[in-house]
Amino acid sequence: SYELTQPSSVSVSPGQTASMSCSGARLGNKYASWYRQKPGQSPVLVIYQDNKRPSGIPERFSGSNSGNTATLTISETQALDEGDYYCQAWDGSTGVVFGGGTKLTVL
Amino acid sequence: QLQLQESGPGLVKPSETLSLTCAVSGGSLTTTNYYWGWIRQPPGKGLEWIGSISYTGSTYYNPSLKSRVTISVDTSQNQFSLNLTSVTAADKSIYYCARMWLKRPKEYFFDYWGLGTLVTVSS
């Protein structure tokens, strides 16, 4: 079955840029999406189709996807950006696949 | 604004069937290019996709759960449902329903989510 691997945690200082990765076999041939989930809340879509932002998501959020790795980048990180971030893709055999999630801490 | 609301028992006995419904408001189930999905999250853990259904009844299921899962749709009520049979303690999770954009060959993502409902499995 297809798997997506994410680092368990990423820390960043306020105002700095946070980057988190999502790795999977030939992920660059698929579209990656990203979700942010704050404690006690439902996930929220922040990036879809590798680098598109839904309405209401700040331009500070950007994404890329190439080779085996997709990356979510948050510039000028703020405390309100803290949460768990999940990547997601579709595999023809497995269906929808989520990564294990990365906890973003803004120190 | 589209809203999704999960409902169903919060407690299910081991070996029995978990049944949940997702009511959709502010939009129609019959919108082109959208499927309707179930995702679960064990407390403190990550997201696991269960399956998705179109308004015509076309389904995709997670292979690891497929033998126990049935997802159905009721367009007259603008809702869709999940049945998960033979539950065990491992099925204790927050269950979310969500709208999924689907455009082949590779556009698949969830853009609206319900608030989730916690289901516990215990006798």
- State pLDDT tens for residues B41-80: 999 999 999 999 999 999 999 999 999 999 999 999 999 9
Mean pLDDT of A40-61: 97
Query: What's the pLDDT at B114?
Result: 98
Cα separation, A104 vs B113, in Å, equals 21
Structure tokens at B48: 């696991």
How does residue B103 score in pLDDT terms, banded at 50, 70 and 90? confident
User: What amino acid occupies position A41?
Assistant: Q
Mean pLDDT of A6-20: 98
Mean pLDDT of A43-60: 97
User: What amino acid occupies position A85?
Assistant: Y
Interface membership of A93 toward B (CB under 8 Å): yes
Contact B113, A54 (CB under 8 A): no
Contact A44, A35 (CB under 8 A): yes
Mean pLDDT of A15-28: 98
Chain A residues 56-85 with a CB less than 8 Å from chain B: none
| Integer-rounded Cα radius of gyration of chain A | 13
The yes-or-no verdict on residue B105 having pLDDT over 90 is: no
> Do B51 and A95 lie within an 8 Å CB cutoff?
yes
Mean pLDDT of A64-80: 98
Supply the mean pLDDT for chain A.
Answer: 97
Chain B positions in Cβ-Cβ contact with residue A100 (cut-off 8 Å) = 46
> How many contacts, defined by CB atoms under 8 Å, are there between A and B?
69
> Do B108 and A54 lie within an 8 Å CB cutoff?
no
The yes-or-no verdict on residue A80 having pLDDT over 90 is: yes
What is the secondary structure of B9-45 as a DSSP string? -SEE-TTS-EEEEEEEESS-TT-TTEEEEEEEE-TTS
Query: What's the pLDDT at B104?
Result: 83
Structure tokens at B95: 């269950």
Mean pLDDT of A60-66: 98
Cα angle A35, A65, B60; round to 5: 55
Cα separation, B100 vs B29, in Å, equals 11
Structure tokens at A21: 């990765």
Query: What's the pLDDT at B111?
Result: 97
Cα separation, B123 vs B115, in Å, equals 26
> Do B109 and A100 lie within an 8 Å CB cutoff?
no
Query: What's the pLDDT at B62?
Result: 97
* E strand or H helix at A10: strand A9-12
Mean pLDDT of B83-94: 98
* C-alpha dist (Å) from residue A75 to A8, A81, A101, A103: 20, 10, 19, 16
Mean pLDDT of B68-97: 98
Length of chain B, please? 123
The yes-or-no verdict on residue B106 having pLDDT over 90 is: no
**Percent above pLDDT 90 for chain A:** 100
How far does the CA of residue B30 sit from the closest CA of chain A (Å)?
21
Cα separation, B96 vs A40, in Å, equals 12
Residue of chain B minimizing CA distance to A95? B62
Mean pLDDT of A35-61: 97
Cα separation, B76 vs B73, in Å, equals 9
The yes-or-no verdict on residue A79 having pLDDT over 90 is: yes
